[in-house]
Amino acid sequence: MPEHYTLYGGELSYFTRKLEAALIFYDADFSFEAKNDKNRETLESRSGTHQVPVLRTPENWLIADTTPVMALLDSRFPHRRMFPEGKLGVLVHLLEEYFDEWVARTMVHYRWHYPDSAAFAANRMAAGNPQAAERVLTWGPKACRATGTDSQQQRQAAEDEYLRILESMEAQLAVTPYLLGSRPTAVDCVVLGGLRAHTNMDPDPKKRVASYPRVVAWAEGSSDHWAGEGDLCEFDSPTAFGQFIIKEMAQTYQPYVLANKEALAVNAKAFHARIYDEEVSYLCRPYIEQSRQMLETRMSNQLNQAEQEYIVKWLHEHQLTCVVGQPQTPGDAG
């Protein structure tokens, strides 16, 4: 009998569907169970978090946080790993971070700022319980404020950014079956998580995604049929999609992550960052700094000194020094 995993979470959860995509690519034997009132206490006490997803391993561990969970699974499914080794693994981790910690806010905006999508999601999350649905609906606007999509300018900019991502995906999928080559990575997992839980699920963004037929087919299952073979791009020659995301990150992810880091250093509760020509307020998020540090740790643990120096130079050239916690100086821009 193969070793069995159980994925606990929700069908409308960005990170649950990200880890689900990864488990499919690992060809793992797994089942999905919704987090509910019956299993909530056990899941939260043993995993140490109220968040989803939580993965039950064959050893009966209950573990959370998709990036380190996938690192564990990479060690168990080495021929199907989602984070390549070496420098390319750093690039995959970097691009994954953009979707984990930045694009996630666009999903929140689409869900809770559009009444039809908000009603759809709240009712589905509440399993038809009107009182529970009302409680969910009160949470949505707070999440939007915390993640900086309160103003109309930021809402429109977030949507425009996501449409650019969809256009780049549609073009890339005409060339390769996955976003960084002919095999999937953690980048594909998180992008699929967003599509399957949010933008190809909720009624309002689904209308926009429908204009990209390759993306729709990919989200609805064509991406799942991977035999475990294929090649990826090189670190120094990413796919067109990879190059596009690197450029986008310098405009948004870079100032956001650095401002969050600086605010946390002085124990601030909130911070401002200039995003799309507007000063935007965000709640401080300790996890973003923790996540940045995980990427920094990947560099120090998996690369030799020469490779680390090469990556740092590359980050400066691409205006992405946030990875090593450094502000960009005027002479750094590439």
Blockwise average pLDDT, block size 10, the chain, 334 residues:
90 98 98 95 96 97 97 97 97 98 97 97 91 91 94 97 98 98 98 98 98 98 96 98 98 96 97 96 96 95 96 96 76 37
Helix axes 186-194, 87-98, angle to 10 degrees: 10
Same domain flag for 132 and 189: yes
The residue from 61, 80, 99 where one domain ends is 80
Tell me 317's DSSP state: H
Range of the structural domain that residue 74 is part of: 4-80
Same domain flag for 50 and 153: no
What is the distance between the alpha carbons of residues 160 and 285, in angstroms, rounded to a whole number? 24
Token pair, residue 235, equals: 């670190």
The answer to whether the beta carbons of residues 5 and 23 sit under 8 Å apart is yes
Residue partners of 227: CB distance under 8 A and separation at least 6: none
Same domain flag for 290 and 315: yes
Sign of CA dihedral 270, 67, 48, 297: negative
Same domain flag for 148 and 210: yes
The answer to whether the beta carbons of residues 332 and 111 sit under 8 Å apart is no
Residue bearing tokens 């080559």: 181
Token pair, residue 92, equals: 């995959």
1, with CB counted inside 10 A (0-12, 13-18, 19+), is: exposed
Same domain flag for 26 and 154: no
Same domain flag for 221 and 266: yes
Cα angle: 28, vertex 201, 35; to 5 degrees: 55
Sign of CA dihedral 147, 153, 159, 162: negative
User: According to the model, what pLDDT value does residue 281 have?
Assistant: 96
The residue from 64, 80, 96 where one domain ends is 80
**Structural domains in the chain (count):** 2
The enclosing domain of 26 has a CATH number of: 3.40.30.10
Q: Where are the alpha helices (DSSP H) in 27-114?
A: 40-47, 66-76, 87-98, 104-112
Same domain flag for 119 and 212: yes
Same domain flag for 164 and 214: yes
Same domain flag for 63 and 120: no
Same domain flag for 210 and 245: yes
What number of H helices and E strands is found in the chain?
15, 6
Same domain flag for 43 and 135: no
Task: Specify which residues 29 forms β-bridges with.
Answer: 4
Same domain flag for 239 and 91: yes
pLDDT digit string, tens, across residues 52-104 = 999 999 999 999 999 999 999 999 999 999 999 999 999 999 999 999 999 99
The residue from 14, 45, 80 where one domain ends is 80
189, with CB counted inside 10 A (0-12, 13-18, 19+), is: buried
